[in-house]
Each structure stands twice: as C-alpha cells, then as structure tokens.
Amino acid sequence: MDYTFHFEVLETYWTWLAKGLWITVYISIISMFLALIIGLIISICRLSKIKILVIFSQSYIEIFRGIPLFVFIIWLYYGLAMVSGINFEPVTAGIICLSMQHGGYLAEIYRAGIQAVSRGQWEASFSLGFSIINTFARIIFPQAVKIIIPPTANMFIGLFKDSALVSIIGVNELMRQSQIATSLTFRPFEFYTVTAIIYIVLTLCLSQLAKFLELKMSNE
Amino acid sequence: MERNIIKVEKVKKYFSELLVLNDVSLKIQRSNVVVICGPSGCGKSTLLKCINGLEGLNSGDIIINGKSILDKKNLRAIRLELGMVFQQFNLFPHKTVLENIILSPIINLGVNKDEAIVNGRKLLERVGILQKENKFPSSLSGGQQQRVAIARGLAMQPKIMMFDEPTSALDPEMIKEVLDVMIELAHDGMTMIVVTHEMGFAKEVADKIVMMDEGRIIEESIPNEFFGNPKKDRTKHFLSKILK
C-alpha cells in the first residue's frame, strides 16, 4: 500500500469537523431526551389495561421499530413535505426521526424493566392504600430503573451513531461536514478516519458513563 | 355498631374458566381471629385478595365495616382499614426498613414526617427490630423482613390485619419470632384473618377456624371442635396430613 496520508488538510478543516461534532452532539442529546419521554409514555400505554392505548402503543412500536431509519428520514423530510406541505427544518426532521424510532425501542426496554418488578410489589403498595400513580412513581419505577439503565445506555450509543444518517437530508453534522471537506480536498481517507475515531471516542465515553451508573446503582 | 366487621356474601370468583371461589360466605366479628386453612389451590389466598380488592369479584359482595367492595369509590377507604401481610413479605427493596414503614402513613394518611418516624420506631420496637431501622430489607433475615412487614401494616392503624401464609416462606427457626408478634397482636384485640397451616397458632388464638377446599368453605368451627371433632372427612384427612 503506497498511500501517503495527508493529515495536514485537517489544519484547515478541523473547525468544520468541530462544528459538525457540535451539531451531532446537539441532535443526539435532544433526541435522547425526547426518546426517554416518548418511551415512557408508550410503555405506560402498552402496560395499561385500556385497549385502545394498548393497540396504539403496539402499533407504534411495530411501525417505528420496523421502518429503517434511513427510509424514515427520507420519507418524513421529502415525502411528507410533498403530500402535506409540512416542511421541517432538516435538524428538526432529524430529531423527530431519531427520537420517534428510539422512543419505540425504549418503550420495549421500559416495559421489560417494569414487568421485571414482581407483582407482589404492586399488591403490597395497593394494599397500603397507594394510588396507581403513586405506586408506579414511588414503588415500581424506582426499582425498574435499575434494570432499565444498562440497555438504555446501549441504545443511546446506537442513537448517537445513527445520528450520522441525518446527513442525507443536509444536516451539517459530523458525517456531512467530513463529506463536504472530502469533496473539497479529495482526501476521503483522512477525513473519514478522523470522523470514525471521533465516533469511537465519544461512544467509549458513553459506555464508561453507563458502567459508572450501573455500578452506582448496584451499590445502593 | 354492627357486630360483623367483615361480611363475605356468596362470592364467586373465576380465573378465566377456573372457578376459584364457589359461593363463599363468611362473617367475621370485631376483635376475632379467624384462621383459614386448606390445601394449596383451595382459594384461601384469593379470598384475602378479594377482601381488599386486589382481585375483583364475579358475583356476590364483600362488606367491610359497612362499606361494599363493589363500589369503586370505597376501595381506597377499605384498603386503609385493612392491613395485609404477604407470604413473600413484599417489602420495598429500594427503601430502608424505617422508610418502608413511614412512607404510606405520610403519603396516604397525611401524617407529618416526624410523627411518622416516632410512630414507626415504636412499631419497630414492638416487633423487636429497631436496631435495623436504617438497613435495607435485603440485609435482613426472612423472619426479620416479615416482622417489618407486619409493622408496616400496623403503621396504617388498620382495623383488620390479614396474613397470607406469613410463615410459609420462612426457615423453621424464624417461624416462632413471627408467630409471637402475631399472637401478641391477637391478644391486643386486633381483628385478624390468617391463612396459615400453623395449627399451634390456630389452637392458641383463633376464635374460628375455616376449612376450605376446591373454592368452597367446607367447615367452620371453634378450635376445640375443629381439632377434636371435625365434621367432614375432608377435614380429618387434611388434619391427619398436617398434624404429625
């Protein structure tokens, strides 16, 4: 292999990557936050005894888990705009797609966590006179959180990497910034190598954070 | 004042196709201790769960202190009058022993926190476990956990305490410490419904023993009669198995 690396192109373009990284982090954090809320709502619907809510949540999970994120982003940004005239900003469209899909994944994680808390906990709480809301908020959910955290952290790592897909609708996040820099410099290998390393480093940080939380939880 | 604090009237309960309570009627007087026994699957635990509304009824009615369980509006008030102790203790594992006891009085009775703590400590002392107040349930033995569970129930100042096989999950040497607490409670005049196979306990404190089989109450009598002269063959057979 007689390829010569020219990492000096980064001297000119590192600010581009930095700007992209900022957008990637921004999109990821907001999407994670929204996904947490969507996941909680959907999982509560899924576990409720109200049939319409159960059907709604099941459909939600099946649809958004089944649609490839790539297809979803294009469908929402281009398709929906054509038929309905609803035009989202690319960043907004990206956040909607990421949070809706991962909210669906999270709903299943939450459901499993909540169901893992024994039935006896519900019964004990009800028999002490707690309402269903207090039972959930004070007794069940705090116990479920311990079970939920590790898979949730894994899912966040997935979301963070998936955020690269929103480059297809022109969001200037890390991946798209390296594409642009590449097209200007004809140095794809350098830029994509650096981009890959950035993703790996941030993913490592997230998984360390997850480990820390898990450890902290199990110590309590 | 009505003598019967609990009236179970012709209750039927199905789990899908399976009839688990078949026309069960039972009256319990204030300050009485009623022991319910019978083979597993006879419906005794289900009966307790029906009494505090953890399970709904298919027909019949249960009236607690004048309030019908069928009226959803009564449900919470009924539960506040009924303490329940479970076979598996069901303490809240993320709360300390003291927190387990004070949480419900604070939230559900509006007791202020200091008062709840003072009260909680008294109860822990009464069940002999005050030194563990800041421990988490997982670090306690089964017998200790069950005594905390009893204290947690008592903290709500219930009119009736229900026990669902409270000693069945315990090692033999821990059974006595739990039974002692229950016996003391009975002597203090608490109305109690106890599902148990501890016949020594039944002999000592029960005012009435109820024998269930296949979802029906087949015999109901005072301890002397129940043990000395059981009416039904099924009861004789059952007693011969558990009294060895």
pLDDT band for position A75 (50/70/90)?
A: very high
Q: Among A21, A12, A28, A13, which residue's Cα sits nearest to residue A173?
A: A21
- In a mutational test of the B interface, the residue from A117, A119, A126, A127 whose CB has the highest number of chain B CBs within 10 Å is A127
pLDDT at A1 over 70: no
Q: Which residues of A touch B84 (CB under 8 A)?
A: 123-124, 127
Q: Which residues of B touch A147 (CB under 8 A)?
A: none
- In a mutational test of the A interface, the residue from B101, B104, B148 whose CB has the highest number of chain A CBs within 10 Å is B104
Structure tokens at B64: 């607690």
State the Cα–Cα distance between residues B137 and B146, nearest whole angstrom.
Answer: 10
* Confidence at residue B113, expressed as pLDDT on a 0 to 100 scale: 93
Structure tokens at B191: 């109305």
More confident: B143 or B1: B143
State the Cα–Cα distance between residues A190 and A183, nearest whole angstrom.
Answer: 12
pLDDT at A220 over 70: no
Q: Which residues of A touch B150 (CB under 8 A)?
A: none
pLDDT at B196 over 80: yes
* Confidence at residue B195, expressed as pLDDT on a 0 to 100 scale: 94
pLDDT band for position A119 (50/70/90)?
A: very high
Cβ distance of A127 and B152 shorter than 8 Å: no
Q: Nearest by CB to B52, which of A127, A134, A138?
A: A127
Per-residue pLDDT reduced to its tens digit, A144-185: 988 898 889 889 999 999 999 998 988 888 888 888 888 888
Q: Nearest by CB to B156, which of A125, A129, A220?
A: A129
Cβ distance of A128 and B54 shorter than 8 Å: no
**Pairing mode, strands B33-37 and B18-29:** unpaired
Residue of chain B whose Cα is closest to the Cα of A139: B92
- In a mutational test of the A interface, the residue from B15, B82, B90, B193 whose CB has the highest number of chain A CBs within 10 Å is B90
Residue of chain A whose Cα is closest to the Cα of B52: A127
Whole-number average pLDDT of chain B: 91
Q: Which residues of B touch A134 (CB under 8 A)?
A: 107
Cβ distance of A127 and B76 shorter than 8 Å: no
More confident: A70 or A217: A70
Per-residue pLDDT reduced to its tens digit, B6-58: 999 999 999 988 999 999 999 999 999 999 998 888 889 999 999 999 999 99
Q: Which residues of B touch A126 (CB under 8 A)?
A: 52-54, 79
Taking CA atoms, A41 is separated from A28, A46, A73, A93, A205, in Å, by 20, 9, 22, 21, 28
Q: Which residues of B touch A121 (CB under 8 A)?
A: 90, 92
* Confidence at residue A187, expressed as pLDDT on a 0 to 100 scale: 84
pTM to 2 decimal places: 0.84
* Confidence at residue A171, expressed as pLDDT on a 0 to 100 scale: 86
Report the b/e string of B114-146 with b at 16+ CB within 10 A.
eebbebbbebbebbebbebbeebbeebebbbbb
What is the pLDDT averaged over residues B123-144? 91
pLDDT at A101 over 90: yes
pLDDT band for position B84 (50/70/90)?
A: very high
Q: Which residues of A touch B88 (CB under 8 A)?
A: 118, 120
State the Cα–Cα distance between residues B181 and B175, nearest whole angstrom.
Answer: 10
| Residue B188 neighbours by CB under 8 Å, 6+ apart | none
Distance from CA of A206 to the nearest CA of B (A): 26
Instruction: Give ipTM to 2 decimals.
Output: 0.92
- In a mutational test of the B interface, the residue from A49, A119, A128, A216 whose CB has the highest number of chain B CBs within 10 Å is A128
What is the pLDDT averaged over residues B58-87? 92
What angle do the packed helices A90-116 and A141-162 form, to 10 degrees?
150
Q: Which residues of A touch B92 (CB under 8 A)?
A: 121, 124-125, 139, 143
* Confidence at residue B147, expressed as pLDDT on a 0 to 100 scale: 92
Q: Kindly state the helix (H) or strand (E) to which residue A151 belongs, with its residue range.
A: helix A141-162
Residue A163 DSSP class: G
Per-residue pLDDT reduced to its tens digit, A193-203: 889 999 999 99
Q: Which residues of A touch B104 (CB under 8 A)?
A: 128-130
Cβ distance of B52 and A124 shorter than 8 Å: no
For chain B, the farthest-separated pair of C-alpha atoms sits apart, in whole angstroms, at 55
* Confidence at residue B1, expressed as pLDDT on a 0 to 100 scale: 61
What is the pLDDT averaged over residues B112-118? 93
* Confidence at residue A40, expressed as pLDDT on a 0 to 100 scale: 93
pLDDT at A3 over 90: no
* Confidence at residue A12, expressed as pLDDT on a 0 to 100 scale: 81
Sequence-ordered strand ranges (E) for A135-196 = none
Q: How many CB pairs under 8 A join A and B?
A: 55
Per-residue pLDDT reduced to its tens digit, A21-42: 999 999 999 999 999 999 999 9
State the Cα–Cα distance between residues A195 and A177, nearest whole angstrom.
Answer: 9
Chain A residues with CB within 8 Å of chain B CB: 118, 120-121, 123-131, 134, 138-139, 142-143, 220
